[in-house]
Amino acid sequence: MEQLFFYLVLMNFALIGYGRMGRTIEVLGTKQGHSFPVIIDIHNHEQLSSGGLKGIDAAIEFSTPATAPGNIRECIDLGVPVLTGTTGWNENIPEIEAYCKAKDGTLFYASNFSVGVNILFALNRRLAEIMDQFPEYKVSINEVHHVHKKDAPSGTAISLAEQILELNRQISKWHLKKNDAYAEEATGQLPIEAIRKGEVKGQHSIHYESELDSITLSHDAYTRDAFAAGALLAATFITNKKGVFGMQDLLKL
């Protein structure tokens, strides 16, 4: 953690997307001493391409799955390092990463900026490696989010599933679980249950179950500050770098 505090240098950030996450980042970042001279949302989006990012150290993008790829491209074209936490646009990620590298730009993407979730990712990978030797356990993922969330399953649940697919040869595919809770799961499948409830900030669990016992790893975000704190660290981290980065580059877990 010592290394993380090293990055607390005061910056001028642009916010692209001024919804729940954009506002949380502004409040926490202002307390930390950062400035947010540029705030872009749907109504003033044209400000982005008309010179609105002059003097900005990095842009912090939390918008929608449909608008994130375009916003990121614009920042790269303007030569401004961009961090995005928007989820639900996975199919465009390889193309945007290639665009960033071709233009010698700077991009930081994380499906989840909370330090705790990234610790969960490290534990999930280790457990998946171990469980590769124990096919009698069936694995499943459960995620719960607030009712306003646009994508399902969450980007974090997809990251957890892909980590398991990479390391556990018993599992070949993940899928979004249908409403029929009692449906028999085919062998080699990883069901993800996505529940939308109230104002839940984000809960994820990975569950292995045999006929004899079960093992569960879980994370519960109490406040959006958990994501905002990680996003501010990551945004500061990329201000003097070129390339494509993720939480592993920041936290080195």
Ligand X SMILES: NC(=O)c1ccc[n+]([C@@H]2O[C@H](COP(=O)([O-])OP(=O)(O)OC[C@H]3O[C@@H](n4cnc5c(N)ncnc54)[C@H](O)[C@@H]3O)[C@@H](O)[C@H]2O)c1
Decide: helix, strand or coil at residue 241. Answer: coil
Residue 146 appears among annotated catalytic residues: no
The label of the residue with tokens 């080195």 reads: 252
Q: Cα separation of 149 and 145, whole Å? A: 7
> Is residue 67 near ligand X by the rule CB under 6 A?
yes
Quick one: angle between helices 115-131 and 155-167, nearest 10?
Answer: 30
Contact range with ligand X by CB under 6 A, out of 72-80, 85-93, 166-174, 237-245: 85-93
Contact range with ligand X by CB under 6 A, out of 11-19, 127-135, 160-168, 182-190: 11-19
Q: How many chain residues bind ligand X (CB under 6 A)?
A: 26
CA 48 to chain centre: 23
Contact range with ligand X by CB under 6 A, out of 12-20, 90-98, 119-127, 134-142: 12-20
Q: Cα separation of 170 and 110, whole Å? A: 27
Decide: helix, strand or coil at residue 173. Answer: strand
Q: Which is nearer to ligand X, 171 or 192 (CB)?
A: 192
The DSSP bridge partners found for residue 139 are: 208
Interface positions, 193-232, toward ligand X (CB under 6 A): 227
- Over the window 38 to 57, marking each residue x when it contacts ligand X by CB under 6 A and - when it does not, the resulting string is --xxx--x------------
Ordered strands of the 203-209 beta sheet: 173-176, 189-196, 138-145, 203-209, 214-220
Residue in 145, 177, 204, 219 annotated catalytic: 145
Give me the residues that bind ligand X (CB under 6 A), please.
16-22, 40-42, 45, 62-64, 67, 71, 85-88, 110-113, 149, 227
